Amino acid sequence: MKTQVAIVGAGPAGLLLGHLLRAEGIECVVVERQTGDYVLGRIRAGVLESITVNLMERLGLDARLKAEGLVEEGFNLADGERLIRIDVAGLTGQTVTVYGQTEVTRDLMDAAPERGLPVLYGASDVALHDIESDAPYLTFTHEGRAERLDARFIVGCDGFHGPSRKAIPASVAREYERVYPFGWLGILADVPPCNHELIYANHERGFALASMRSHTRSRYYVDVPLTEKIEDWSDERIWDELAIRLGPDAAANITRGPSIEKSIAPLRSYVFEPMRHGSLLLCGDAAHIVPPTGAKGLNLAASDVHYAAQALTGFFKANDADAIASYAAKALARVWKSERFSWTLTKLMHRFPDDGPFERAMQVAELDYIATSRAAQTSIAENYVGLPV
């Protein structure tokens, strides 16, 4: 098989890039290890920045997003009994949209056949070859047959555990990482949200987040030590912990119900450089991970893909080789600013096991400052809605 761009991974990054390239008439093939149902079964992000909404709009794939997405004009930071509302709309003129990553992926997946975007699901043993040449290729097994896919570029959209990042020689690689001493236990339930806007809470027992997927489906999180096992957390235990950590006002509005899904995800901050080596570009979690506190993971994948599509379109349609050369620096500039915001909000809203009274006093002082400063709230708001692309 031969194409112009081979994309590894059919998560949001891979599918979004595939659609953007096809919209420019650029040939591409997406190679995915799992089945489509498996990809849709992963419950992940919930908040979309305007970059992500705008890309879906540009592709004409925003009908469901506009019909079902919840436009949010603010969110809240809770610290015991205090609730600090960040008026993102009033402070930045922008909003965020609550619409699950699963739904974004479903919209992209459903539109692939009619838009001439081939997605090969169930491809195993994907390997990258000759990435430093102008003729890289993938090998993999698909439907029991050994396959080879020749391309001019390969884009690794294969997440944190995929093969693409590992294909870049250690001699040119630089990694930056912070692993957090806790994970997020998430629960999804068909119950109405306790609040019409998100609440991030820093309680003496730990972090909690009240989010949602719709007016009838809620998504909640509590942070737990990394030693915790999901089987030790009954639904009732999770609801009890949420009611304590979110505070009495929110607790009074929590509707309990059976979990549809519950899982524990570890938290890390991670950046891999370079995001391009030879004919291989990296997008999304293949190149970076953020703690979900800032709701940046999916949206960073979208901005990477925006830059990658620009670069590849410049190369194929304007014969602009410089466009490819400038991809990594452009993408990383936004990645690092999102990493900073996600790390800052994680530090502010979580109790770290090694923190002492001074660190807690700093959290209280920072929340006091945010509660009383328009400038501080504006800074948080402009990062939360997403910095310019």
- Interface with ligand PHB (CB under 6 A): 45-47, 198, 211, 219, 292-293, 295
- In 3D space, the residue among 121, 163, 128, 150 whose CA is nearest the CA of residue 30 turns out to be 121
| DSSP 3-state of 178 | strand
- Find the farthest-apart pair of alpha carbons in the chain and give their distance in angstroms, rounded: 63
Decide which of ligand PHB, ligand FAS, none touches 183; Cβ closer than 5 to 8 Å per partner kind: none
* Nearest distance, CB of residue 218 and ligand PHB, angstroms: 9
Shorter beta-carbon distance to ligand FAS: residue 15 or 348: 15
DSSP codes of every residue in 228-247: --GGG--HHHHHHHHHHHT-
User: Which residues are within 8 A (CB) of 377 and not within 5 positions of it... i.e. 6 or more apart?
Assistant: 84, 86, 87, 91, 370
Shorter beta-carbon distance to ligand FAS: residue 11 or 193: 11
Decide which of ligand PHB, ligand FAS, none touches 293; Cβ closer than 5 to 8 Å per partner kind: ligand PHB
Decide which of ligand PHB, ligand FAS, none touches 259; Cβ closer than 5 to 8 Å per partner kind: none
End-to-end CA distance of the chain: 34
Residues forming contacts to ligand FAS in the complex (CB under 6 A) are: 8-14, 31-34, 39, 44-46, 101, 123, 126, 157-159, 161-163, 265, 284-285, 292, 295-298, 301
Structure tokens at 351: 């109790």
What DSSP element (H or E) covers 345?
A: helix 327-349
Shorter beta-carbon distance to ligand PHB: residue 45 or 286: 45
* Nearest distance, CB of residue 114 and ligand PHB, angstroms: 29
Q: What span, in angstroms and rounded, lies between the C-alpha atoms of 295 and 301?
A: 12
* Nearest distance, CB of residue 102 and ligand PHB, angstroms: 10
Shorter beta-carbon distance to ligand PHB: residue 32 or 103: 103
Shorter beta-carbon distance to ligand PHB: residue 162 or 297: 297
Shorter beta-carbon distance to ligand PHB: residue 48 or 309: 48
* Nearest distance, CB of residue 222 and ligand FAS, angstroms: 13
- Give every strand in the sheet of 47-48, ordered side by side: 47-48, 96-98, 70-72
